[in-house]
Every structure is written in structure tokens, then in C-alpha cells.
Amino acid sequence: MTVVAILTSAGSGRRLGHALPKALVELRGVPLVVRAARALVGSGLVGLVVVTAPPEQVTEFAEVLGVEIEGVPVRVVAGGSTRQASVAAGLAVVPDGADVVLVHDAARALVPPGLVARVVEAVRAGHPAVIPGLAVTDTIKRVGARGDVLETVPRHELRAVQTPQGFAPDVLARAHAAGAHLGVDETSAASDDAGLAEAIGVPVWVVDGHEDAFKITTPRDLAVAQLVLAERDGSADESDDTLAAESDDSAEAQR
């Protein structure tokens, strides 16, 4: 059985201050879409990555990504005018035989492979729709049109939802078919695929998210992503130093 990941990448880079599509903006010399695809493949579970690109830049995305990443095939298709429409375009080319479909945002380029695996495992355990979520730490208030506070929402019930979201293929197909009347523009489109699943009565399961799976939308987010990568590199360096020291100690003990 195969896991297919739909990687949505058709957004603009205006809020990042770039003329390029957001997914082609580089983070330490590597486009966000490439980093996101590598993270998905790094789980060791994804057998195909379908990337939805701006229609006029499909060729450019295909050149950046290549035909495969770490041995896993990549297919680039034209996205739609909304995220919902782009996911539907990706879903249309998911081959028969897939047992899990993931939907992931290229802007969440630093998602840990372990989180990807956690979502896949939950779908395979019998949950037809799975989302990763983080507990909300801020106090949340519902506010009226005039700026008046209507209520304070109990934050222990809230989760900030991330991607990848995982689905049984037939569930995602039914959810998008039922929600096809939406998505004419961003104000009417579903904000995530789990919302479409909820609308047709499918129970949605939540697994633990990860703080590194944040969405890179603004220049500040990009700066934070640089720090996360620096921290990861530092941890890797420390690990290498520790292994080298252990190796030296072992060699010394054998003398």
C-alpha cells in the first residue's frame, strides 16, 4: 500500500516580501517546496509526492524539484485559485492503490518527519481523518463586530491545527466532492481539508503536533526558520562531537 502526499505550493510570496511564489522562496539556499518535500519523504513512508504549483509556473517547479526526491517520484500539477481547489487538483491524480493521502502546505517546510509518520500511523490505525494540533497557550476571546468581547473560549478545548493532515483516500474524495460548491475565492473556501471531512460527518482525530511545523508566511517567520535550522545544525554538530569523543574513548580503552 502507498502513501501519497499532496503538497500545496500555489500561494504567492507577497507577505514574505518576494515576487516569487512563496514555495520557491529559499531558506538557506533551498526552496521551501524542496525542504517540505524532503521532510515528507524523510518519514520513509511516502511513495509519491504530488505538488500543486501556480499554473503559469508548473515547468519552473518541475525543474526545481526534479522527477524524484531521494528515490521517491514527484509529480507537479497546476493548482487552482484557492487552496481547496489546488488540493482537488492534486487529488485528481492520486493513483489507485493508495491507502493514505496526506495534504501538506509547502509553507510548513520544517515539519519533522516523525510528525508525518505519526499522522500516517493514525490513519492506518483506523482513523479516517487525522490532523496534528498544538495546545493553545494564549487566552482566546470571541469578539463581536463592534470590538466588544462576546465570550472567553476555554483554551483547554482548543488546538492550533497544522499539516500534514491525513485521510483515507475515499474520505478525502467524498469530502471534496461534497464541498465543490465552495472554494470560489479564499473567503468562501474551506480553510483546511479536515473541515470538509467534518462537514460530511466524518470524525476527525487529533495527534500531537510539533512547534517546528509552523507556517512560514512573513519575513519574521522566515527569520525564525533560519534559527530553527541553525539549532538543528548545532544539535547535529554536538551529536557528531559526542560520537567522535565516544569513538576516541573506545579506541583508547582498547590500547
Q: How confident is the prediction along the chain (255 residues), in pLDDT tens digits per residue? A: 699 999 999 766 566 667 778 899 999 999 999 999 999 999 999 999 999 999 999 999 999 999 999 999 999 999 988 889 999 999 999 999 999 999 999 999 999 999 999 999 999 999 999 999 999 999 999 999 999 999 999 999 999 999 999 999 999 999 999 988 765 555 556 789 999 999 999 999 999 999 999 999 999 999 999 999 999 888 655 444 433 443 344 334 333
State how far the Cα of 195 lies from the Cα of 70, in Å rounded to an integer: 32
Position 81 scores a pLDDT of: 85
Position 251 scores a pLDDT of: 38
State how far the Cα of 33 lies from the Cα of 104, in Å rounded to an integer: 10
Task: State pTM to two decimals.
Answer: 0.87
Contacts of 159 (CB under 8 A, 6+ apart): 133, 134, 135, 136, 206, 209
Position 234 scores a pLDDT of: 82
State how far the Cα of 31 lies from the Cα of 41, in Å rounded to an integer: 16
Position 245 scores a pLDDT of: 44
Position 240 scores a pLDDT of: 44
User: What would the grid cell of residue 163 be?
Assistant: 499539516
For 152, counting Cβ atoms within 10 Å of its Cβ (0-12 exposed, 13-18 middle, 19+ buried), the class is exposed
Quick one: which H or E segment has residue 177? helix 169-178
Quick one: which H or E segment has residue 117? helix 113-124
CA distances from 188 to 15, 84, 97, 183, 184 (A): 21, 10, 32, 6, 6
Calculate the dihedral angle through the C-alpha atoms of 72, 75, 79, 82, rounding to the nearest 10 degrees.
-20
Quick one: which H or E segment has residue 225? helix 219-254
DSSP code of residue 227? H
Quick one: which H or E segment has residue 229? helix 219-254
Contacts of 43 (CB under 8 A, 6+ apart): 113, 114, 116, 117, 120
Position 233 scores a pLDDT of: 86
Position 82 scores a pLDDT of: 87
Sign for the CA dihedral angle at 103, 109, 115, 121 comes to positive
- On whether the CB atoms of residues 49 and 69 are closer than 8 A, the answer is yes
